[in-house]
Amino acid sequence: MPIVVWLASAMIAASIPLGWWSIMSDRAASSRAGRNLLGDGPTLRHTLLERSLAERMVLPVARRVGTVLVRFTPIGWVEGRNRALARGGLSGRITAEQVLGAKLLLPLVAAVVLSLQLIGDTQPRAMALMAACVLAAFFLPDLAIRAIADRRAEAMVVALPDMLDQITISVEAGLGFEAALARTAEGQDDPLAQELLRMLQDVRLGASRADALTALAERSQVDDVRTVVLSLRQSDALGVPLARTLRTVANEMREKRRFRAEERAHRLPTVMIFPLGLCILPALFIVILGPAMLSGFSFG
């Protein structure tokens, strides 16, 4: 038998296990990738099912309805709602179109539910109740966003002096401004820390410090935060040492917080007049004068 036949047979015999190994290795890699994508890890379906019913059904419907109706809104309405959502920290979760859709869908739902409850009742009182509920449902999204924004702004005002003190100590210890912000904001879950981390992300993405501070003031829409941003921008422009500016602003914010506490304390007696006159004094009169009146009736 020629040597060429022996060489060809040996090559074929050696290629069979190599081919089998290559095929099985690719299949094993594919199976491992499939297990990583679809096995133990969460799938897209599981991620969607973990969301609430409102996020899966109500918000998409509201967004579609609002997308159709947004062309009929006044000029500047969308920008105003976006500012309100940013002030409430909802700009990444809710859009202006969804708010507009909710302002249409909620009155419709309220009207349908009340119509089923008050079917056959054509009295003016029932009609007035339905109109009031529909009107309240129309303004409910705006009121909810405003309430969330007010609570968030109050939390930022309360946390601002302590946050400034920590940043000042870090800057005086030798850290840079951005490093001091990161060290102070990381690990905290209050709205002010979230806004500071977002400002740091803007700086890391290429925005200047002045632009990032301006964007922070526009998002928060809090007077104290705007005061701090203005002071920091003036310090950068005039070359004033940053630690001195932070120390001055921190003292000012602490004094303003003390003044607010004193103002609330002075306003407390006026606020207590109504529960005192409506709840405590009638019960006190009943306890004091009740036995005397009963004894007088018994003698009579």
State the average pLDDT for the chain.
77
Angle made by CA atoms 103, 109, 112, in degrees to the nearest 5:
140
Q: Does domain 154-260 have CATH number 1.20.81?
A: yes
Q: What's residue 4's pLDDT?
A: 41
Instruction: Calculate the CA dihedral of residues 105, 107, 113, 117 and round it to 10 degrees.
Output: -170
- pLDDT of residue 230 exceeding 60, the answer is yes
User: How far, in Å, CA of 197 to CA of 208, rounded?
Assistant: 15
* Per-residue model confidence (pLDDT) at position 56: 59
Using the predicted structure, report yes or no on whether residue 290 has a pLDDT greater than 80: no
- Domain-wise residue ranges, the chain: 53-149, 154-260
Q: Is residue 42 scored above 60 in pLDDT?
A: no
Per-residue confidence (pLDDT) for residue 188, from 0 to 100: 81
Average the pLDDT over 80-95 and give the result: 84
| 55-58, Cβ contacts within 8 angstroms, sequence gap of 24 or more | 58/102, 58/105
pLDDT at 285 over 70: yes
pLDDT of the residue at 109 = 83
